[in-house]
């Protein structure tokens, strides 16, 4: 059969340029298959190519010249992957799968040309709001007004959102209860501080979930930390890393490192699993940057998930009784990437009156995975429905998690399956036990409001 010139050229496209998957990391895989049961896409499809082992074989095939970088199957599998990192947690050879799939996506972004509409969509949905979090905060202020004005409910009832295919996307966004939190504007000071902590504000957490960030500050203050939100910090860059836009991620990493260096000593506290994972991986992201490689290592050693920090000692008292039953959904980038699993449970079990009931497959990906549930809705919905079924099976009153993407995915999946169980962040539970906003054990200091907002 004759082979067209285009097909011949496609066969000859190798990895090249910068951010090439490291051959030493690729060779670590011994193809034992222990990763297969942990992989959500393999669980759904049963196809070898949709497993970590299969995707590593595809990467190695491109590296060895047996497969083109632009082969449609390679493209499909690199982006079908949720990058949940569950395979890393069980791999006996210690394969660093996350950096390999992100480098492979970076290669695709360098060597293929996306259609104009896709380039525009990526710029509008990623580059514009996430490269400067002030834009994100401005957009969320408008979104909050949209919700509070009643327009949201009206459009939902009228069916307009369904007609323009935005019903599912609009449903993901929870009610935004508080205005965005601006770095440098708020801090929490306990009566007898025993340490200092700096909250990583983030983009989605600092705007859509600003109530959780403020709860984090209050809980840290209750536990003896003088807590602030350093100025000049930006988005962690995780969404850029996951979509192959590594240069953009590096720019944000450098900005954040400099911002927290200026803030002084003390742990950098993160309450979003995806952000924490991204911040802890800055040393790999910036390993070839002579000005930031060592600084990234020092920075990453300071990063602590809020449950990681709080579980390092017994929670301070007194705490109020919080009745009811909860079940805990493990965010992938907390359980698998950061290997933090016991700590959230340890904290929940210290809350008076609260019962923790385990769900089946608590650590299996819920299908959120950044923007995966937007661009690959079918598979994301299948995973979300599976998770909702397990949550309902626990008969818990509410679901606890520790990542904004998981929160939105769980909320949407439960609603789609006829359940209205509350989904809450773990620090919201702890904050309730400490008395929430009305507590008198700390004082929130507002910095001079005439100050110009820092980026």
Residues found in the chain: 455
Rounded CA gap, 198 and 201, in Å? 9
Structure confidence by residue, pLDDT tens digits, 414-432:
999 999 899 999 999 999 9
As given in the structure block, the two tokens for residue 27 are 């060779």
Task: Output the pLDDT for position 120.
Answer: 79
First to last CA, the chain: 59
More confident residue, 299 or 158: 299
Structure confidence by residue, pLDDT tens digits, 88-137:
999 999 999 999 999 999 999 999 888 888 877 777 777 888 899 999 99
Structure confidence by residue, pLDDT tens digits, 254-310:
999 999 999 999 999 999 999 999 999 999 999 999 999 999 999 999 999 999 999
The residues near 126 (Cβ < 8 Å, ≥ 6 apart) are 239, 240, 243, 245, 371
Asked if residue 79 lies in contact with residue 105, where contact means CB atoms within 8 angstroms, the answer is: yes
For 75, counting Cβ atoms within 10 Å of its Cβ (0-12 exposed, 13-18 middle, 19+ buried), the class is middle
β-bridge mates for residue 186, sequence order? 446
User: Is 0.85 surpassed by the pTM of this model?
Assistant: yes
Name the strand (E) or helix (H) holding 214. helix 210-222
Which numeric CATH code is attached to 186-312? Answer: 1.20.1050
The SS3 of residue 55 is helix
Rounded CA gap, 277 and 407, in Å? 17
Q: Which of 61, 97, 126, 127 is nearest to 284 (CA)?
A: 97
Q: Measured between alpha carbons, how far is residue 333 from residues 17, 222, 392 in Å?
A: 29, 27, 23
Rounded CA gap, 11 and 81, in Å? 23
| Fold of domain 15-111 | Fumarate Reductase Iron-sulfur Protein; Chain B, domain 2 (1.10.1060)
Q: Domain 325-433 belongs to what architecture?
A: 3-Layer(aba) Sandwich (3.40)
- DSSP strands (E only) in 297-395: 303-305, 325-328, 355-356
Q: Which of 284, 241, 237 is nearest to 256 (CA)?
A: 237
As given in the structure block, the two tokens for residue 455 are 């980026």
Task: Output the pLDDT for position 201.
Answer: 97
The residues near 133 (Cβ < 8 Å, ≥ 6 apart) are 201, 202, 203, 206, 207, 233, 234, 235, 455
pLDDT at 26 over 60: yes
Domains of the chain by residue range: 15-111, 117-172, 186-312, 325-433
């Amino acid at each position: 059969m004759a082979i067209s010139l285009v097909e011949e050229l496609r066969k000859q496209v190798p990895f090249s340029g910068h951010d090439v998957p490291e051959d030493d990391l690729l060779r670590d895989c011994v193809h034992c298959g222990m990763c297969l049961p942990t992989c959500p896409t393999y669980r759904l499809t049963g196809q070898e190519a949709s497993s970590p082992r299969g995707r590593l074989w595809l990467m190695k095939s491109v590296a060895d010249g047996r497969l083109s970088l632009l082969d449609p199957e390679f493209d499909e599998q690199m982006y079908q992957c949720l990058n949940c990192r569950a395979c890393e947690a069980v791999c006996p050879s210690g394969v660093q799968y996350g950096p390999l799939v992100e480098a492979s996506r970076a290669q695709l972004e360098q060597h293929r040309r996306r259609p104009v509409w896709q380039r525009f969509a990526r710029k509008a949905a990623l580059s514009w709001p996430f490269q400067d979090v002030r834009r994100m905060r401005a957009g969320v202020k408008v979104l909050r007004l949209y919700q509070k004005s009643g327009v949201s409910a009206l459009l939902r009832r009228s069916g307009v959102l369904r007609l323009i295919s935005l019903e599912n996307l609009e449903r993901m966004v929870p009610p935004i209860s508080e205005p965005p939190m601006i770095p440098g504007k708020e801090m929490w000071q306990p009566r007898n501080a025993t340490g200092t902590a700096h909250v990583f504000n983030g983009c989605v957490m600092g705007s859509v979930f600003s109530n959780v960030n403020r709860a984090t500050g209050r809980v840290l203050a209750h536990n003896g930390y003088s807590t602030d939100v350093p100025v000049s910090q930006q988005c962690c860059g995780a969404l850029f890393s996951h979509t192959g836009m590594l240069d953009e991620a590096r720019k944000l990493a450098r900005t954040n490192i400099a911002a927290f260096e200026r803030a002084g000593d003390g742990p950098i506290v993160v309450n979003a699993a995806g952000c924490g994972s991204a911040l802890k991986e800055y040393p790999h992201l910036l390993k070839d940057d002579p000005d930031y490689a060592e600084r990234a290592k020092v920075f990453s050693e300071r990063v602590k998930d809020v449950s990681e920090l709080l579980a390092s000692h017994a929670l301070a008292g007194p705490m109020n009784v919080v009745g009811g039953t909860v079940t805990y959904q493990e965010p992938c980038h907390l359980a698998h990437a950061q290997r933090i699993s016991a700590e959230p449970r340890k904290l929940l079990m210290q809350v008076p009156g609260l019962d923790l009931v385990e769900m089946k497959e608590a650590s299996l990906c819920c299908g959120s995975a950044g923007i995966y549930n937007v661009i690959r809705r079918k598979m994301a919905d299948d995973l979300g429905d599976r998770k909702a079924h397990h949550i309902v099976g626990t008969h818990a009153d509410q679901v606890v998690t520790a990542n904004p993407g998981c929160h939105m995915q769980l909320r949407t999946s439960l609603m789609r399956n006829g359940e209205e169980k509350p989904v809450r962040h773990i620090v919201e539970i702890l904050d309730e036990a400490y008395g929430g906003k009305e507590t008198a054990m700390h004082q929130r200091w507002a910095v001079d409001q005439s100050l110009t907002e820092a980026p």
